[in-house]
């Protein structure tokens, strides 16, 4: 049986021209009533700014526009259609219970400017989420404000900077590792730091010696992604934290991959000073396609005074917004952060409980290692070691037969699934990074595994993938150099 035929269908797929090509003069979606006030001469009021020619907009009826966008939406792939094994991105099922609660009128129909007495329930949700994130990290305080992982990094770095300045020091260096996520050095540069990168060895772990070699009095802190972008737990992390603290440098943990360690290890216990979460990865708030993110930060005692305001606190039995924090770095986001994401993450945590959260990570690790065990005979695993929630392959075994990483990835599209992350992390040549997450069934994992095997078995060097999509693989270089827009206006 071929997985190709089992998994894709060509039944109803409609070609879709541009709205401009569909346009027909005189069509409209909404008619305005006849003018019942005196007509004005717009030129008199707006001079040259008034429109001289008819706007160049397509003319269509409402149903045509609705169909156009609905058809286009069927060209999309989504986590609700099948496995989305995009390593590092943690594309997992978004429980509908969370959606139900987040959309309930009681919760949605409040404005941030409404009186604080009216928003007690909202503040309670935020307060409880903070408390839960404190417990999960073993750290002292949380700010929910940052609206993405990268913004959490930026806010965390501003805290590190404020900490050193409060001691009269202007430390300018941040250490990162080659296994750090790309946002780490980018955020550090944006926050005004110089970056020194340590290289990991063949086994993919940051060593004590490599940190020792670059540590000096100018180092404000180190950013470590843990588990790192190879899916490995930094086993020297506790000693690295000690080493940094001896020099009064702080340890930033990129916790976007906390989904691998929930209830198993806590950054606060091994010496982290600040960590960001990605609620939109670990805690199942929807992401991709531009959905809003949320990147709360948790901090150790040393950084509490600098947290963004307002702080969400509980005084007696009331929830309050505290703006009185003289050393605060100020706001990093309008109002209180992406509130809709807090509700979803809060629901997820409350629904699972401590035991359930640990199971999330155990199953994420199990699923990744199942794929590893089933594909290790065919795909090369460039960095050995104990992979947690994701596994990095590359094309070493297939390349000479013309099946390089990008080709394998594009072929998976023909099998009806989203390709894994490719050519990342940069420290692995031609990486293919697979993160199944805990929400895939064994049947879906097998579909992925067997599809990969079938692509390898049937590899023919002349085939260009994908073959079964509307658009074949574009010549990326040509598309960039000879930009040829399909629609041209008739002047
Ligand atoms: C996704 C990710 C980030 C960035 O998060 P955004 O919300 O996209 O800004 C940072 N670090 C790691 C390890 C990630 O996986």
Cβ 410 vs Cβ 467: under 8 Å? no
Count of CB atoms within 10 A of residue 63's CB? 9
Ligand 1 pocket, Cβ-based, cut-off 6 angstroms: 88, 148-150, 181, 183, 225, 254, 256-257, 278, 293, 295
Q: Residue-wise pLDDT tens for the chain (491 aa)? A: 566 655 544 445 667 888 998 999 999 998 889 999 998 888 888 888 888 888 889 999 999 999 999 888 888 888 999 999 999 999 999 999 999 999 999 888 888 899 999 999 999 999 999 999 999 999 999 999 999 999 999 999 999 999 999 999 999 999 999 999 999 999 999 999 999 999 998 899 999 999 999 999 999 999 999 999 999 999 999 999 999 999 999 999 999 999 999 999 999 999 999 999 999 999 999 887 656 899 999 999 999 999 999 999 999 999 999 999 999 999 999 999 999 999 999 999 999 999 999 999 999 999 999 999 999 999 999 999 999 999 999 999 999 999 999 999 999 999 999 999 999 999 899 999 999 999 999 999 999 999 999 999 999 988 899 988 877 888 888 888 988 776 665 54
Q: Ligand 1 pocket test: which of 155, 232, 254, 283 has the largest number of ligand atoms within 8 Å of its C-beta?
A: 254
Quote the CA–CA distance of 114 and 298 in Å, as a whole number: 28
**By alpha-carbon position, which residue is closest to atom 5 of ligand 1?**
149
According to CATH, the topology of domain 359-478 is 3.90.1150
Characterize the bridge pairing of strands 431-434 and 194-198.
unpaired
**By alpha-carbon position, which residue is closest to atom 8 of ligand 1?**
149
What 3-state DSSP class applies to 164?
helix
**By alpha-carbon position, which residue is closest to atom 2 of ligand 1?**
256
Q: Where are the domains of the chain?
A: 96-352, 359-478
Residue 5: the pLDDT is 58
Q: Ligand 1 pocket test: which of 86, 179, 181 has the largest number of ligand atoms within 8 Å of its C-beta?
A: 181
Q: Exposure of 182 by Cβ count < 10 A (0-12 exposed, 13-18 middle, 19+ buried)?
A: middle
Residue 468: the pLDDT is 86
Distance of CA 4 from the midpoint of ligand 1 (Å): 33
Residue 461: the pLDDT is 87
Question: Could you tell me how many helices (H) and strands (E) the chain has, helices first?
Answer: 16, 12
**By alpha-carbon position, which residue is closest to atom 1 of ligand 1?**
89
Is 96-352 assigned to CATH 3.40.640.10? yes
Residue 9: the pLDDT is 47
Distance of CA 281 from the midpoint of ligand 1 (Å): 9
Distance of CA 153 from the midpoint of ligand 1 (Å): 9
Residue 11: the pLDDT is 47
Residue 486: the pLDDT is 66
Q: Ligand 1 pocket test: which of 86, 88, 223, 279 has the largest number of ligand atoms within 8 Å of its C-beta?
A: 88
Residue 12: the pLDDT is 54
Quote the CA–CA distance of 15 and 32 in Å, as a whole number: 32
Largest pairwise CA distance in the chain: 81
**By alpha-carbon position, which residue is closest to atom 4 of ligand 1?**
149
What is the reported pTM?
0.90
């Amino acid at each position: 049986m071929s997985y190709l035929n089992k998994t894709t269908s060509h039944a109803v797929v409609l070609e879709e021209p541009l709205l401009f090509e569909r346009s027909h003069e005189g069509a409209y979606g909404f008619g305005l009533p006849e003018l019942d006030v005196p007509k004005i001469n717009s030129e008199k009021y707006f001079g040259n700014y008034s429109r001289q020619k008819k706007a160049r907009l397509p003319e269509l009826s409402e149903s045509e526009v609705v169909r156009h966008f609905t058809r286009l939406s069927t060209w999309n792939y989504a986590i609700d259609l099948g496995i989305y094994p995009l390593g590092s991105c943690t594309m997992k099922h978004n429980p509908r219970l969370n959606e139900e609660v987040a959309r309930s009128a009681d919760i949605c129909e409040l404005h941030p400017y409404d009186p604080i007495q009216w928003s007690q329930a909202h503040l309670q949700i935020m307060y409880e989420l903070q408390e839960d994130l404190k417990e999960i990290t073993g750290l002292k305080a949380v700010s929910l404000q940052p609206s993405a992982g990268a913004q959490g990094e930026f806010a965390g770095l501003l805290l590190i900077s404020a900490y050193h300045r409060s001691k009269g020091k202007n430390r300018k260096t941040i250490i990162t590792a080659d296994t750090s996520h790309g946002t780490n050095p980018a955020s550090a540069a944006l926050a005004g730091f110089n970056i020194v990168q340590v290289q990991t060895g063949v086994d993919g772990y940051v060593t004590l010696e490599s940190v020792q070699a670059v540590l000096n009095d100018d180092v404000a802190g180190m950013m470590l992604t843990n588990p790192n972008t190879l899916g490995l737990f930094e086993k020297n992390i506790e000693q690295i934290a000690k080493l940094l603290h001896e020099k009064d440098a702080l340890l930033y943990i990129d916790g976007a991959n906390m989904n691998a360690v929930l209830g198993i290890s806590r950054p606060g216990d091994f010496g982290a000073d600040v960590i960001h979460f990605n609620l939109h990865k670990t805690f199942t708030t929807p992401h991709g396609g531009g959905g809003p993110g949320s990147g709360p930060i948790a901090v150790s005692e040393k950084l509490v005074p600098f947290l963004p305001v307002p702080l969400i606190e509980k005084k007696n039995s009331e929830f309050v917004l505290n703006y009185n924090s003289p050393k605060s770095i100020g706001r990093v986001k309008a109002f209180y952060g992406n509130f809709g994401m807090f509700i979803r993450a809060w629901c997820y945590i409350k629904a699972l409980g401590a035991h359930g959260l640990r199971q999330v990570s155990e199953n994420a690790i199990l699923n990744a290692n199942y794929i590893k065990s089933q594909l290790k005979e065919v795909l090369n695993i460039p960095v050995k070691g104990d992979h947690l929630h994701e596994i990095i392959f590359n094309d070493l075994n297939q390349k000479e037969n013309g099946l390089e990483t990008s080709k394998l990835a594009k072929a998976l599209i023909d099998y009806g699934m989203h390709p894994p992350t490719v050519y990342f992390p940069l420290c692995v040549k031609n990486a293919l990074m697979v993160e199944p997450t805990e929400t895939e069934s064994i049947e879906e994992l097998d579909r992925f595994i067997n599809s990969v095997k079938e692509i390898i078995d049937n590899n023919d060097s002349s085939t260009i993938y994908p073959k079964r999509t509307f658009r074949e693989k574009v010549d990326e270089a040509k598309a960039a150099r000879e930009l040829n827009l399909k629609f041209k206006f008739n002047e």
